[in-house]
Chains A and B, each alone.
Chain A
Amino acid sequence: MTFYLFLEQTLNAFQLGVMLFLMAAGLTLVFGIMNMINLAHGSFYMIGAYVAAYVSDATGSFFIGVAVALPVAAAVGMAVEIIALRRLYKRDHLDQVLATFGLILFFNELTSIIWGPQALFVAIPPVFSGSVELIPGAPYPIYRLVIIGAGLIVALLMRTLIVKTRTGMLIRAGASNREMVSALGIDIDRLYTIIFGLGALLAGLAGAFAGPILATEIGMGENILILTFVVIIVGGIGSIRGALIGALLVGLVDTYGRAFLPQFLRMIFEDPSVADGVGASISSMSIYILMAVVLIFRPRGLFQAYG
C-alpha cells in the first residue's frame, strides 16, 4: 500500500516537474540570453490555457484546442517582445520586474473582460480519460502519464533544437557573446523575438495541458510563475539542463512534502492535529526552503550557466 502511494506520488511529482520544466525552459532562455526577467511569462501560460479551453469547448476537440493555443501564445509572446520588452533588455532588472508586472495586470484584466471572472473547466479528452494499471492494483490516470510523456518529448526536442540546429547554435552563441553574434551579421533582434516566441509557446503548451487537471482561472499564471522562478533559481539561470533538474527537484520536494510530511510528523508529535498543522505549514513552504538553502550554499544555482 505504501509502495503504491509512493509510486503514485512520484508520478505526480514528475507530472508537476514536467509542467514546470515547460515553463522554466522559456523563462531561463529569455533570462540567460537577453538577461531579461519576465514576470509576464505566467500570462502566456494563462493565455494558452484559456485559448485551449475556449477552442476545445467550441470545437469539441481538445487537440484542436491545443493546436490553436500554441500559435496564439507564441504570437502574443512575440508581439509583447516587439512592442514593449525589447526596450528593456538593457535596463536593470528592477525596471523589467515593474514593466512586466504591468503586463500581468493588463493580461489578467483582458482575460477577465474576454472570458469573465469565472474559472473555465475543461474535460479530459476521452482518449486519455480513465486510468491504467502500471503495476497490478495501482491505477494511475492516463492523462497525467500523457503529460509526463509529452513533456519529456518536448525536452528532447529542445535539446535537439539547441544542440543540432543552426537556430540552436545561434541561441547558444547569443547566450555567450551577443555582440560577437551581431557583429557576425546575425539579426540579433529577430533571434531574440524567436526565442521569446518559443518560450511563450512552451508556456502556452503547459497552460493547455494544465486545463483539464487545474481550473483555468485568472491569476493561474502567477501561481505557477513563482514556482518557475524557484525552479530556475535552483537550477541556475540560463541553463536548460538546470531547468530540467530544478523542475524535477521542485516537483519532488513539493509533492513529497505535501504527501508524506504530515504522516512523518505524526510519528514525532503526540497530537495528530498539531502534526497535520505543522506538516501543512512546512510542506507549503518546502520549495521556498529548498530555494533559500540552495541560494545560501550555491548563490548562483546548482548548474551555473556560462556567459
Chain B
Amino acid sequence: MDKFNRKSIVLLVGLALLLALPPITIAMEEAYFISLFSRIMIYALAAVSLDLILGYAGMASLGHGAFLGVGAYAVGILAFHVTEETAIPFLPGGWAGSINAVISWGSAIVVSSLFALVIGALSLRTSGVYFIMITLAFAQMLFFFFVSLTTYGGEDGINLDQRSQIPGLDLADDASFYYVCLALLLAFVYICYRIVNSRFGMVMRGCKQNETRMRALGYSTYRYKLICFVIAGAGAGLAGALIANQSEFVGPGLMHWTRSGEVMIMVILGGMGTIFGPIFGAVALLLMEEVLAAYTEHWMIILGPVLIFVVLFARRGIYGFLTGDGGRDG
C-alpha cells in the first residue's frame, strides 16, 4: 500500500477518523459514541473473520455467531467463578476463574478455536447449501445448549461485575477500551492481510474458484479449509470476548442465528472478498441501525429492503464503491 491511490486515501482517512474518534466525541460531549464505536469495532472484527472464510475461501457459514457466543461465554464463565469464588466444575484442578484479560481473552480464543475445529471438521464434509445449513444447525445447537444451561443463567445469561483487567490500562474507561478494540481489530486485519496474500491464501482462493482443480493439483483442500475455518473461529471468539466486556453481559442471544445473519450482512454490505470491506460494513450497518432507530422503532422495515437492494444491485459493497476498481486487498 505504498502507492498514493484512491484506495490508500480511503483507508488512511478511515483510520484517521477511527483514531481521532474519542477526542472528537469527548470534545463534542457525545461520549456515548465511543461506546457505540467500541461495539462497531468488535463486530467489525467478527465480520473480518467471517469474510476470511466467506469471501476468500467460499465457505458460507451461517453459524458464525456460535464462536462469538463461545468466546463471550469463556470470558463470562471465568468471571462468574471469580465473583462466586467457586471452582470451575468441568475443569480439573479447582481453578477459580480469572478476570485477567490475557488469560480470559486467551481462553476465549483457544476455546472458540477448538469449537471451530470440531464444527468445521464435521461441516466441511458437506458443501454448498448443506454447509450453510449444517453450520446454522451447530450454532442453534449451542444456542439451545446455553439456553438450557441454568448454572450460568440459562436464557438470562451472566452479568459481569467488571471488565477484564490489563495491568496498566483501565478498561472501565470507555476510551481506553475503544483503543484496545481498535488495536485488536487492526492486528487481526494485519494477520488476515498476510494470510490472504500468502501461499496459504492463494490455495484458499483457489478452492473458492474451483475446488476440484485444487484437489487435482494435489492440495489437501479439506485441511486448508479447516485451518482457515479455525482461524476465523478464533477471530470471532476474540470478538465475543470483547463484546462480553463491552456490554458487561453474556447471553445466548449472541449465538442466535439472526446474529450470524447480521454479521454476514456486514460482510456483504461492506464488500465480500476484501479485507477492509467488512469494517465499512459493520460501521454502516450499526450506524444505520442507530440512526433509523432514533426515527422509528420499526427501523427494520427500512433495513430489510435496503439489504435486498444491496444484494440485487450493489454487489461490490461500500468498500468497492469508495475505492473504485482498486477494492481488492491482494
Contacts and interface: CB of A to CB of B under 8 A. Distances in A.
A105 B126 contact: no
Interface string B215-249: 00000000000000000000000000000000000
A105 B301 CA distance: 6
A100 to B, nearest CB: 8
B209 interface: no
Given A103-B304, A292-B138, A299 B132 contact: no
A105 B129 contact: no
Interface in A240-293: 277, 280-281, 284-285, 288-289, 291-292
B140 A226 contact: yes
Interface in B75-90: none
Contacts of A98: 261, 264-265, 268, 307, 311
Contacts of A95: 311
B291 interface: no
A288 B307 contact: no
A84 B136 contact: no
A49 interface: no
Given A99-B308, A292-B137, A226 B257 contact: yes
Given A97-B264, A98-B307, A284-B147, A110 B140 contact: no
Given A98-B261, A229-B136, A295-B130, 5 more contacts: A94-B132, A97-B264, A229-B137, A230-B137, A284-B144
Nearest to B137: A288
Interface of A: 31, 37, 84, 87-88, 91, 93-95, 97-99, 101-110, 112-113, 222, 226, 229-230, 233, 237, 277, 280-281, 284-285, 288-289, 291-292, 295-296, 299-300
Q: Which of B125, B126, B304 has the most CB of A within 10 A?
A: B304
A105 B141 contact: no
Nearest to A84: B308
B312 interface: yes
A101 B261 contact: yes
A295 B305 CA distance: 33
B304 A94 contact: no
A211 to B, nearest CB: 24
B122 A37 contact: no
B68 interface: no
Contact of A99 (B137, B151, B299, B307): B307
A106 B137 contact: no
Contact of B134 (A113, A226, A291): A291
B125 A299 contact: yes
Contacts of B132: 37, 93-94, 97
